[in-house]
């Protein structure tokens, strides 16, 4: 389907009402954030399973190292998300 056909089809659709999820409201953003967090956790667990299930041989060394780097990066991202959420939950304290 070309761009012109996609635009024509999308202009026929009605716009989303303000209360519909996905319309940019706060609860929609929270759900998207939770889904993203869960997907990262699932990926971390999958990588751990692969790392632990792969023999430590020179043939698999580069692959294991790549998986370990991905796991470390994802854990860092998850930790940053948790820190940002904790900072957002704390009220500003002014002396």
Instruction: Give the model confidence (pLDDT) of 19-68 as tens digits.
Output: 555 555 677 888 888 899 999 999 999 999 999 999 989 999 999 999 99
Instruction: Look at residue 10 and tell me if it is in a domain.
Output: no
Instruction: Look at residue 18 and tell me if it is in a domain.
Output: no
Instruction: Look at residue 14 and tell me if it is in a domain.
Output: no
The domain total for the chain is: 1
How many Cα atoms occupy the beta-carbon half-sphere of 45 within 13 Å?
A: 6
Instruction: Look at residue 19 and tell me if it is in a domain.
Output: no
Instruction: Look at residue 52 and tell me if it is in a domain.
Output: yes
For the residues 4-30, what does the mean pLDDT come to?
Answer: 61
Instruction: Look at residue 8 and tell me if it is in a domain.
Output: no
Instruction: Look at residue 36 and tell me if it is in a domain.
Output: yes
Specify the pLDDT at position 1. Answer: 47
Instruction: Look at residue 15 and tell me if it is in a domain.
Output: no
Query: Quick check: 74 pLDDT over 50?
Result: yes
Kindly report the pTM of this predicted structure.
Answer: 0.57
| Domain limits for position 51 | 24-89
């Amino acid at each position: 389907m070309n761009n012109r056909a996609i635009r024509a089809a999308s202009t026929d659709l009605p716009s989303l009402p303000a209360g519909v999820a996905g319309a940019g409201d706060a609860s929609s953003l929270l759900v998207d954030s939770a889904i993203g967090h869960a997907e990262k956790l699932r990926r971390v667990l999958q990588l751990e399973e692969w790392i632990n299930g792969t023999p430590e041989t020179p043939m698999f060394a580069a692959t294991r190292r790549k998986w370990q780097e991905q796991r470390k990066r994802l854990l860092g991202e998850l930790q940053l998300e948790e820190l940002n959420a904790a900072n957002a939950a704390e009220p500003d304290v002014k002396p």
